[in-house]
Structure 1
Amino acid sequence: MNPTPSIKDFTPEEDLLGFFGPDSVTWRIHSDPAFSVGGIRALLLQALHPVAMDGVHQFSTGFTTDPWARLTRTAEYVATLTYGTRRDALRVVRRVRGMHRDKAAVEETTGRSYSVDDADLLLWVHNCEVDSLLSTARRAGVPLTDAEADRYVAEQVVAAVLIGADEAEVPRTVAELAAYFDGIRAQLAVTPAARAASRFVLVPPMPGWVQLLTPARPAWSTLASLGAATLPRWARQVYGLPGFGLTDTAATAGLKAFRQAALAVPARVRESPIVRAARERVATAEPLSA
């Protein structure tokens, strides 16, 4: 695996700006309301790789006992990698890589012996995330040119390398990303672990009081339905959900409506504290580069 960089490899200004910075396409996509739908789409897509899904099922802390905590940790990881300082990002990367270390098993349906930190499995998870966040953003109406879409894929190479993927194998353009999925589709399937994971994503367990006294259930149902409906057609077919109740046109319309409704909420309420903190932090770094 690739060694994790040291904070000594960066200048103080680079540390403050993080690995992407305010002028990146990554900041634009990851701070948009469509990001939440893209994250759910990514989880559903990732579950279709039998070996990668087995690793989650076997070794992910809290996957069956406290799934909400696991989702929260995943969201915090992506947010810190995107908006944190490089020091903060490296801290969470080392924590996750440490959790992956020395975890190995055999996936029953394929018979493959694997380690959780195998580079091809890390690449699969990365590519699902990039493809999901980018495609969801574009369908939701985030203004992105083809060149900016390619730039996003290229920016995300650093995220893949940091977690341990082989840099030479990481797609750098939208076309390379599409070619990756074309090449791996024959390996994908809905295993029992994937079926259980998809059920959790689509209909997660919630305490009774949460369902009765809060809008959590209908809110999540909306996000989950959009996440599933925006999967590629081939992925919906693998799941046996070719339409999932919505046509591609209807799914896109629903996604755009969701985004517009979310954008009506003031940014100070809509955006997470880490995003607001990042904007304030980089403002202090601008004089350093003037």
Structure 2
Amino acid sequence: MFIGGLRALLLQSLHPLAMAAVAAHSGYRGDPWGRLQRTSTFLAVTTYGTADDAQQAVEHVRAVHEQVQGTTAAGERYHAVDPRLLGWVHVAEVDSFLCAHQRYGAHPLDAAGCDAYIADMARVAAALGVIDPPRDQAELADRLAAYRPELRSTQEAREAAHFILRHPPLPWIARAPYVVLAANAVSTLPLWARKPLRLPHLPGIEETCVRPAGHALTRTIRWAMAPSRPSPP
């Protein structure tokens, strides 16, 4: 979730309309962890909550999206309820979480499991207003490819990447593990997404240093967050 979430933010920033909406309305600079907590809560409720709780969470997000609209510096109009923008945010998120899980998860999914995850996420996307969200790996890959002509680097996207990766508001003790998570998030991005954001590609170093450090850190996080077991009587 940590690595996938960072990857999703970086990938989503490449859509100029989606990034303009985030920059103008999300307050990610002033309260980045609050925004992350709200997003995490939504994912948790729609994944593990009751159907009623999930529906309430969806309705709340849709109400927030109704208020998010404006015009980019280039004069392009955006509105967060636009199904096309919602679709981009959705596919970038699903692809990122699935990619991170397959590389760093304790139990990677087989092909059927990947398709099932994408299909489950499609139910939430449809409730939010996405039209015909992808429901398997082939559809997800096709949808990502279909968005690529719309993607480009903007000043807002580069500033967001710089803030997320280099200047997160964290105490010094948390900086080292965060750097490992961020480096691994970047390493999972395809080259076509890295270049516009001016993110490095370091073949050899990524395989021998970055990924092993990512595996070690995610194993440590899983161990630290595992539920405690009651002591035997």
Q: TM-score, normalised by structure 1?
A: 0.72
1:98 corresponds to: 63
Whether 1:114 aligns to 2:72 is: no
2:141 corresponds to: 178
2:124 corresponds to: 159
SS at match of 2:94: helix
Counterparts of 1:95 and 1:204, CA distance in 2: 31
Cα deviation, residue 260, structure 1: 2.7
Cα deviation, residue 181, structure 1: 1.6
Runs of 5+ consecutive residues of structure 2 not aligned to the other structure: 229-233
CA contact (8 A) 2:14 2:152 kept: yes
Counterparts of 1:259 and 1:236, CA distance in 2: 23
Counterparts of 1:205 and 1:259, CA distance in 2: 19
Counterparts of 1:58 and 1:230, CA distance in 2: 27
Counterparts of 1:266 and 1:179, CA distance in 2: 36
The aligned length equals: 226
Residue pairs, 1:39-188, within 5 angstroms: 39-60=5-26, 62-109=27-74, 111-141=75-105, 142-166=107-131, 168=132, 170-188=133-151
Higher mean alpha-carbon deviation, 42-51 vs 141-150, is at 141-150
1:31 corresponds to: none
Name the CA shift for 1:123/1:244 in 2 (closer, same or farther; >3 Å).
farther
Larger radius of gyration: 1
Name the CA shift for 1:246/1:159 in 2 (closer, same or farther; >3 Å).
farther
CA contact (8 A) 1:80 1:88 kept: yes
Counterparts of 2:205 and 2:151, CA distance in 1: 23
SS at match of 1:268: coil
Counterparts of 2:109 and 2:19, CA distance in 1: 32
CA contact (8 A) 1:131 1:177 kept: yes
Aligned identity (percent) is 38
SS at match of 2:227: helix
Per-residue CA distance 1:101-132 (angstroms, 9 max, x = gap)? 143222234x4222111001111111111000
Counterparts of 2:198 and 2:29, CA distance in 1: 24
Per-residue CA distance 1:232-276 (angstroms, 9 max, x = gap)? 12111222224168755344444333333333336116xxxxxxx
Counterparts of 1:46 and 1:70, CA distance in 2: 15
1:217 corresponds to: 175
1:255 corresponds to: 214
Counterparts of 1:220 and 1:115, CA distance in 2: 32
SS at match of 1:159: helix
CA contact (8 A) 2:180 2:214 kept: no
1:229 corresponds to: 187
2:2 corresponds to: 36
2:227 corresponds to: 268
Cα deviation, residue 90, structure 1: 1.7
Counterparts of 1:127 and 1:230, CA distance in 2: 15
Cα deviation, residue 133, structure 1: 0.6
Q: TM-score, normalised by structure 2?
A: 0.88
RMSD over equivalenced CA pairs, Å: 2.1
Cα deviation, residue 137, structure 1: 0.8
Counterparts of 1:198 and 1:51, CA distance in 2: 16
Name the CA shift for 1:177/1:193 in 2 (closer, same or farther; >3 Å).
same
Per-residue CA distance 1:172-228 (angstroms, 9 max, x = gap)? 111111111222212211211111211221134436xx32xxx22212222111111
2:231 corresponds to: none
Counterparts of 2:145 and 2:85, CA distance in 1: 16
